[in-house]
Amino acid sequence: MSTDAAPAAPKYYLLKTEVLGLIAGLQPGTLIPTERALAEKYATSRTTVRQAISELVAEGKLGRIQGHGTFVAPPKVTHVRQLTSFSDDARTQGLRPDSRLIALEVLKSDANVAAQLGLDQGEQVTRLERIRLIEGEPLAHEVAWLPGKLPRFKSSLAKAGSLYAVLADVYGVQIADVEDTVETALAGPADVRLLGIEMGAPLLVVHRLARDAAGVPVEWTRSTFRGDRFRFVSRVKSGA
Amino acid sequence: MSTDAAPAAPKYYLLKTEVLGLIAGLQPGTLIPTERALAEKYATSRTTVRQAISELVAEGKLGRIQGHGTFVAPPKVTHVRQLTSFSDDARTQGLRPDSRLIALEVLKSDANVAAQLGLDQGEQVTRLERIRLIEGEPLAHEVAWLPGKLPRFKSSLAKAGSLYAVLADVYGVQIADVEDTVETALAGPADVRLLGIEMGAPLLVVHRLARDAAGVPVEWTRSTFRGDRFRFVSRVKSGA
DNA sequence: CAACATTATTGGTCTATGCCAATCTTGACA
DNA sequence: TGTCAAGATTGGCATAGACCAATAATGTTG
């Protein structure tokens, strides 16, 4: 008589629960049985095992390396996101942040970037592309656009490390407010290459628009974070 | 000589791109060819077609209904998240929000809830569980815990609709700041049942702790949003 | 002993196929 | 005309097996 009974859990989901029990309490990095071994142990096909394992990987509970094996994943990193930068956030938690510069160039803005920064299409913008690492592990891919051409930007950035520090100390630009947009996406080949994750892994895509006190946009950034390794925190205080 | 060539895109990924082209410009709701038809058209197996389609579904670009077909998904809803509530956020954008009450009960706090709200384990808390809908579609599952027992809470909530409105108008509680934690997860059977999504769909799980001006916790909420239908926006202003 | 080639192991992709479950269509029947 | 039953269609789950790609282990050779 019940209108909607709970859906009977499919076999791959039961197996998922089974594996969760298997890894409970194990140290990160511990290898679990191979897919073929699990298939035999639970009297199922490797396809079904892979579906279960794949979801656990997507959830950040397992990791896997071709030719090596499947292992218990390390816990998520919590990212406190206020007006601070990636590097400041990380250091606050006692983690060692790092950046790998991929590109730093001055070019003409396309329609989208111009709209975000309040420029006319074709006006000069500085494009900064970086990989962000924590404890040596690449966790985010970040492309920032800044209006205009910034003199001695590269050397300043190399010295300070933090983009926001450079803006404040070198150019006297104070960020007054930021607007973050967070959505989910799945990893494609580019993300796989840049972040060393697997196809289809969940991502958190964050777009940030930062303005100065006068409300003039000073930065527009698209950041792609590993969804299996990150957790965002944002604090908002009331009007006063 | 290149150190790391771009990985050769697997067939299911090429197919994904192919289907993306197929649906570009189509109206939401438009049915695309069946899995079996696509498999034949692109000379591949249905398994491969399903892998491609599944990722597009997870990304919110397609939807599917067993026995009916696969169709172009509607665009994402943007959720502006400040100090406001779900219903206020939605109305601001001209969308019709709604709530379906699942449970409203007073019970003893467990260890976790007590810790979040700054209570001793076992102290009374009010638990409010709701499904949040926009334009009639269930988009989020929300469980809120409030300290203590609130008199006439149910009727007040039914009248006002918004939890924050009730807190302010009926109990005189002003939210002074909130802390949101955003992370990704994949849908399990419970999420499937409550939100009408498919197993493994990406979710945005948000934990919110709201405090009053004195810093006393007044609400702790766990919200599960459909990752394929939502986009979060948070605005943060500088200290002054 | 060190460097290299070979082999085995493990995850990554793909095929072909079967049956189940939900939905829609069609047609028989009252 | 309306209702219900049967069949066709479509996505959901699972199997068994094959081959590829990356890694690790082994053995050979200089």
**What is the nearest CA distance from A102 to chain B, expressed in angstroms?**
14
A188 contacts B7? CB cut-off 8 A: no
Question: What is the Rg, in whole angstroms, of the alpha carbon atoms belonging to chain B?
Answer: 22
User: Which residues in chain B have their CB less than 8 angstroms from residue A180's CB?
Assistant: 232-236
Number of A:B CB contacts under 8 A? 136
CA–C1' gap, B176 and D16, in angstroms? 60
B191 SS3 class: helix
Give the closest of A10, A175, A185 to B59, CB-based.
A185
Strand segments (E) across chain A: 62-65, 69-72, 77-80, 97-108, 124-134, 137-147, 177-186, 202-211, 217-226, 230-237
Give the closest of B6, B9, B202 to A184, CB-based.
B202
Among B45, B9, B3, B71, which Cα is nearest to A200's?
Answer: B9
Nearest-angstrom CA–CA distance, B233 and A208: 9
Where does residue A82 rank: exposed (0-12), middle (13-18), buried (19+ CB within 10 A)? Answer: middle
Percentage, residues of chain B above pLDDT 90: 41
> Global pTM?
0.78
Within 10 Å of residue A211's Cβ, how many Cβ atoms?
18
Higher pLDDT, B234 or A14: A14
Q: CA end-to-end span of chain B, whole Å?
A: 54
A82 contacts B7? CB cut-off 8 A: no
Mean pLDDT score, B195-207: 82
Within 10 Å of residue B93's Cβ, how many Cβ atoms?
12
* pLDDT at position A28: 92
A182 contacts B231? CB cut-off 8 A: yes
* pLDDT at position A84: 62
Taking the CA atoms of A32, A34, A35 and A41 in sequence, report the sign of the dihedral they define: negative
pLDDT at B1 over 60: no
Which residues fall inside 7 Å of strand D, measured at CB?
A: A 10-13, 43-48, 51, 65-68; B 7, 34-36, 46-47, 50, 64-70, 198-199
pLDDT at B11 over 50: yes
* pLDDT at position A194: 85
Torsion of CA A209, A212, A218, A222, to 10 degrees: -20
pLDDT at B238 over 70: no
Q: Which of B145-149, B168-172, B219-223 bottoms out in mean pLDDT, i.e. has the lowest?
A: B168-172
User: Which residues in chain B have their CB less than 8 angstroms from residue A201's CB?
Assistant: none
Within 10 Å of residue B11's Cβ, how many Cβ atoms?
16
Query: What's the CA angle centered on A183, arms A130 and B16, to 5 degrees?
Result: 85
Among A166, A168, A128, which Cα is nearest to A147's?
Answer: A128
* pLDDT at position B8: 63
Contact between residue A70 and residue A34 where contact means Cβ atoms under 8 Å apart? yes
User: Which residues in chain A have their CB less than 8 angstroms from residue B179's CB?
Assistant: 233-236
Strand segments (E) across chain B: 62-65, 69-72, 77-80, 97-108, 124-134, 137-147, 177-186, 202-211, 217-226, 230-237
A213 SS3 class: coil
CA–C1' gap, B10 and C9, in angstroms? 23
* pLDDT at position B83: 53
pLDDT per residue rounded down to tens, chain A (240 residues): 333 334 467 899 999 999 999 999 899 999 999 999 999 999 999 999 999 999 898 888 899 999 999 999 988 877 666 556 777 777 877 788 888 898 999 999 999 999 999 999 999 999 999 998 888 888 889 999 999 988 888 888 888 878 888 888 888 888 888 888 888 887 877 888 788 777 777 888 889 999 999 999 999 999 999 888 888 877 776 653
Nearest-angstrom CA–CA distance, A127 and A222: 11
Instruction: Please report which helix (H) or strand (E) contains residue A23, including its range.
Output: helix A11-23
* Region of residue A200 (phi > 0: left; psi between -120 and 50: alpha; otherwise: beta): left
Please name the residue ranges forming H helices in A24-148: 35-41, 46-58, 86-92, 111-117
ipTM of this complex prediction, to 2 decimal places: 0.75
pLDDT tens-digit series, residues A181-238: 888 887 877 888 788 777 777 888 889 999 999 999 999 999 999 888 888 877 776 6
User: Which residues in chain A have their CB less than 8 angstroms from residue B231's CB?
Assistant: 181-183
